[in-house]
Amino acid sequence: MSHYPNDIYTEPANVDADTLRNLGPLRAMAGIWQGVRGLDVKPKAEGPKKQAFVERFELQPIDPQTNGPQLFYGLRYHTHITKPEQSKTYHDQVGYWLWEPATGTVIQTLAIPRGQIAMAVGHAAADATQFELVAQRESTTYGICSNPFLEHAFKTVEYRIQVTFHPDGTWSYDEDTVMVIRGQTEPFHHTDRNTLHKIGEPEPNPLARR
């Protein structure tokens, strides 16, 4: 049985326009961040390879978003990653982090310029200091979609990200992307982790600025 209301059109009344006040656990992520000690473990023909990386991660509040009665507050993000002392892009990713106050749902959407998108979901309290989100290939709601070559050679079957907020104001993430690689019998765990330090404050969302 669906928990959604019969009225799927009417939007909630008296929505607070200030996104930064209503982000739940995502409030601690708003702003501009830098991480200089990232570690990536990736697949290579000769076996797993470790790679250090440097990251700039920007998360800015967006206006409240509604799907009829459903209400989200969120952050638009862009992370740009390079190898230490290099300017060439090593990884680039954009998307949204969303918080649904009514259900305690946290969503991350992501898109990378290798022809892949995903949407991961988890649940958390508004004051949580740690949470985990998951996307799975078989899901028609919180799933993974890849271009034909990636499906052929590096099929992603699961994506997990755990976020932890620290007392000193930093936050860290630990990702595990499970891949079925052509020619290998065991799934490969492509992992990434980093700790982010704030280098800039977030800007208020457009409605809050007005």
**DSSP character for 93?**
E
Q: Other C-beta atoms within 10 Å of 118: how many? A: 24
Q: What is the pLDDT of residue 126?
A: 98
pLDDT, tens digit, 9 for 90 and up, residues 156-169? 999 999 999 999 99
Q: What is the pLDDT of residue 194?
A: 98
- In a 13 Å sphere around the CA of 207, the CA atoms on its Cβ side amount to 13
Q: What is the pLDDT of residue 4?
A: 85
- For residues 179-201, one letter each, b for 16 or more C-beta atoms within 10 angstroms of the residue's C-beta and e for the rest, the string is bbeeeeeeebebbbbbbbebeee
Residue 1 confidence (pLDDT) above 50: no
Architecture of domain 19-201: Beta Barrel (2.40)
Amino acid at 160: R
Percent above pLDDT 90 for the chain:
96
Under the banding of pLDDT at 50, 70 and 90, the label for residue 11 is: very high
- For residues 124-143, one letter each, b for 16 or more C-beta atoms within 10 angstroms of the residue's C-beta and e for the rest, the string is beeebeebbbebbbeeeebb
Give the residues across from 172 on adjacent strands: 164, 195
Average pLDDT for residues 179-199, to the nearest whole number?
A: 97
Domain boundaries, given as residue ranges, for the chain: 19-201
Average pLDDT for residues 15-35, to the nearest whole number?
A: 98
Average pLDDT for residues 114-137, to the nearest whole number?
A: 98
Distance CA 205, CA 194 (A): 27
Distance CA 158, CA 143 (A): 8
Backbone angles phi, psi at 33, to 5 degrees: -130, 160
Nearest to 96 by CA among 65, 51, 124: 65
**DSSP character for 160?**
E
Tokens of 126: 């508004």
